Each structure stands twice: as C-alpha cells, then as structure tokens.
Amino acid sequence: MDIYKKSISELSELINKKTISSIEMTNYFIRRIRSFDKNLNSFITVDEDFSYAQAKIADKQIAANKNTFLTGIPIAHKDLFSTKGILTTCASKMLENYIPPYDATVVSKLNNQGMVTLGKTNMDEFAMGSSNESSYFGSVKNPWDLTKVPGGSSGGSASAVAARLSPIATGSDTGGSIRQPASFCGLTGLKPTYGSVSRYGMIAYASSLDQGGPLATSAEDCAILFNIIRGFDNNDPTSNFKIKQNEVKLNLNKKNFKSISIGIPKEYFSKDLDKNISDVIDQSIGVFKKLGFNFKEISLPQHGYTIPAYYIIASAEASSNLSRYDGVKFGYRCKNPKNLEDLYSRTRKEGFGKEVKKRIMIGAYALSSGYYDEYYMRALRIRRIIRDNFLNAFKDVDYIFAPTCPSTAFNIGEKTSNALEMYLSDIYTTPVNLAGLPAVSIPVGFSNKMPVGMQIIGNDFNENGILNVAHAFQKETDWHNKVPREFDHE
C-alpha cells in the first residue's frame, strides 16, 4: 500500500474509510522507526506504550464518529515541545531526565485533534546549531546521504519526515531551523509570522525570534497542520491577536497568477551562493514564469548585517533564558557541591555542551554594562532597519523568492571547527526571523544528488499567500515527492 508515501489527506481518507485503523497505522510507522532510525538517530525518545494508548483512543473516536480530519494520524515532535509524561530533553544533558507536568500549546492542540505522538525528535542542543551536531545524544544523519548533516536545529524532525518515519513533524525556527533542514532534506518547511503559533511550553532559546512550525513533504500538509497550531494564546505574552486573519485555504486561481509580482533580491544571488544552486533556482523560477507570475529585481541593502545582528540578539536572549538552569529548581545537578557557587558553576559546566556555553558567553558579554549599547542596542537598531527593508520591498512586490541555503548539505564534521563558516549557512534565513515575517522553504531540485530548497517570503500574516504559491509550484512538479533510495521501501 506504500503508506509511507501518502499525504496527510490520503492517510485521513484511509482512516475514515476504515481501510486501516489508527493502531495499525501507528504500528506501521513505529516499525519503520525501529528498522531505519538506527542509521539516522533522528529520534531521542520513542514511547510505544504512549503512542498505542493514543491510537486506541483515536480508534474509539473514529468508531463513534467523533473524529476530526487528523484523528489517528501519527506525528513526531521536536524535543523542545513540552509533552506531559514524556521526556523533553532539548537534546541536552541539562534536561536528560526532565519529564514535563504539562503539554505545550502546540502539542495539546494536536492531541485535541486526535493525532498520535510517535516520539520526540533529535535536535541541536537547546536549538543552538545549524547542523544537528551539537546534540548530547549524537549527530543526526541526512537520509539522502548518511555522511552529511540534515541541517539544524530541527534536523531530527527533518530526517524523520524525509525518511518517511513520520508523515509530519513539528519544528522550531529561530534563525532558519525549520527552513534550512527542510532544504537539506528535500522537504517543505514553514516558518510562520512571529506570534502566530504559541510558544507556551516550547523551551526557549531566543524569545523574540523563536517560532514553531511544521515540517512536511508538501505545502498542503504544512497548511493542514498550521491551521491547527496557529491562534492566539493567553498563556503566551508574545502571541499576536491578529492571528485570526491568517488561516490558510489552498485555492489560488491560475487566472490570478499574472497579477502576482515576485521580487528577486540581488543581494541574495551573490558570490556567497553556490552556482549549481543558483542554476536550480533559476529553473524553478522558469516554472513560475510559465504559470504567469511576474518577476522583478529588488534590493535588500542591509542584508550583509543580518548574521552579526542575529547572533548578538540570539546569544543575548539565550544567556538570559538559560540562566534558569542552575541545579536548584529542575534539571541536571552536579554531585556533592561544596557550596552554592560551586553548585551553580559545576552544574552549568557539566550540563551544557560546548556550543551552548559559547553562545551564553557571547550573550553575557554583549549584555555587560560596558558593551550593552555598543553591541546589543546596535543590533536591535539593525534589526529594525532589516525589517524596514522588507516592508519597503513589499510595497512593490507581493512575495520575495530567495535561496534557503548557500550550499547543499555538507559533510558531518566539516564545519564544526569553524564557527563563522557554520553561522554563514544561515545567511539567507536569519533576515526573515529578524523581520518576524513568514517564509516557506520548498524543494526545487537537486545539486550533486542532494536536495536544493528555495524560500518564498511573505508579508506579515500572509501564510495563506506563500503556501498557495508553494502549492501552485508543487502541482506542476514532483520534487516534494522524492524519497531517499535507502528508505524508499516498506
């Protein structure tokens, strides 16, 4: 039946027609995880008893005709979404044994729809990384080439969906952590407008940048999940009341394509971009041109300042957010501390990994009394300028197309010793987070046998628009349906 290749809509139809039960579907994907994940390391926790218990409840709802469209369909959650009764580690020794007493809003919304949690996916520690190599539980492999990284920090979610170990997964995007792994693994990944998806129960890295979203094979599946997880939440002070206006309906009419203008920022197609990737994106733009879309060159002049501004802001917020892990309240605690100062220092030294420590130190330095204005405040001013650049561009165009990454997936270990080179892999994704805008990365082809992604960026709360444009492309192409050869069998 090739269930692993089916979309969310197709899986829902199978369940509603009672061709397969939720228990059977859950067991099917758990068997795939058992068979394949030993080579990928995409999951940190798989609680089979919990999954089967949810599937049994789903089957009862289906039998009583009380099910929703998503009832009984499996999903995987990035291991920074709090899950009641299930380990939530953030891929860190600091939270290695932490079991939350509550669900994140995203998780509870999907549970209320009757979805079945397969497990918690691997990630960069506390979401700090671009390659999924900083996890306390080991690196994640890319299903297209096991010697390469899947991207980060949502690399576990991306790897699991790309290998079809889960039909869909949640991720988080602070500087590209949904879109970059989507690009590396040949998936569709949506980073919603900041404030569209509740951060309640999502363990914080950088509070003004973090945003939850879906990783899936198609824009259609992303739209289905986004419509459930979006919405105002009183528990999240950064939740935006305007969210009610961004429901997604995939109904873009071909007759309207000629009235849609798309901007191509000249700064994004520079020497930083691999020529092979540029060629693949040019071919995909050709598909859009045949559909009738109009293209126009635009400028985002402050693009070169995004990486330094992003890493100062993100590290500053991380140093503040991670101060709660001190060995007193919860999480890891060092053994036999001599005094309170020793408890704090050794707990943090032993509990945090190298990348997390580095970013905490950068952030603490940027926030220190002598350098606060010089670094942090200046970065905030640059952030405002970058957002203004985008808003000015949207006065002339409806959407912006851009590469997702300057290269395809790189080798495991290739960039771990060069922090700057690693950080530059986010050069095309971080501006969107700084501006708070929505963007979706879609697969548009291959370069050297590895997937290539392209971003579609929209104005505030225009998830409907960017997903419709993505869906239009995916109706004309089949890049999103490609499955890595090693995992393309039952």
Cα–Cα distance, 207 to 321 (Å, whole number): 8
- Write down the catalytic residue from 154, 177, 196, 284: 177
Asked if residue 433 lies in contact with residue 475, where contact means CB atoms within 8 angstroms, the answer is no
Question: What are the distances in angstroms from CA 159 to CA 143, 154, 185, 201, 432?
Answer: 6, 9, 7, 23, 23
Asked if residue 311 lies in contact with residue 439, where contact means CB atoms within 8 angstroms, the answer is no
User: Is 417 a known active-site residue?
Assistant: no
Asked if residue 182 lies in contact with residue 168, where contact means CB atoms within 8 angstroms, the answer is no
Asked if residue 382 lies in contact with residue 309, where contact means CB atoms within 8 angstroms, the answer is yes
User: Is 320 a known active-site residue?
Assistant: no
Asked if residue 93 lies in contact with residue 82, where contact means CB atoms within 8 angstroms, the answer is no
Q: Around Cβ 65, how many Cβ atoms within 10 Å?
A: 7
- Write down the catalytic residue from 134, 153, 166, 183: 153
Q: Residue for token digits 């006065």?
A: 395
Question: What are the distances in angstroms from CA 335 to CA 161, 327, 344?
Answer: 39, 10, 11
User: Is 153 a known active-site residue?
Assistant: yes
Question: In the 3-class helix/strand/coil scheme, how is the chain assigned residue by residue?
Answer: CCHHHCCHHHHHHHHHCCCCCHHHHHHHHHHHHHHHHHHHCCEEECCHHHHHHHHHHHHHHHHCCCCCCCCCCEEEEECCECECCECCCCCCHHHCCCCCCCCCHHHHHHHHCCCEEEEEECCCHHHCCCCCCCCCCCCCCECCECCECCCCCCHHHHHHHHCCCCCCEEEECCCCCCHHHHHHHCCEEEECCCCCECCCCECCCCCCCCCEEEEECCHHHHHHHHHHHECCCCCCCCCCHHHHHCCCCCCCCHHHHHHCEEEEEHHHCCCCCCHHHHHHHHHHHHHHHHHCCEEEEECCCCHHHHHHHHHHHHHHHHHHHHHHCCCCCCCCCCCCCCCHHHHHHHHHHHHCCHHHHHHHHHHHHHHCCCCHHHHHHHHHHHHHHHHHHHHHHCCCCCEEEEECCCCCCCECCCCCCCHHHHHHHHCCCHHHHHHCCCEEEEEEEEECCEEEEEEEECCCCCHHHHHHHHHHHHHHCCHHHCCCHHHCCC
- Write down the catalytic residue from 22, 51, 78, 183: 78
Encoding tokens for residue 49? 């008893």
Catalytic residues: 78, 153, 177
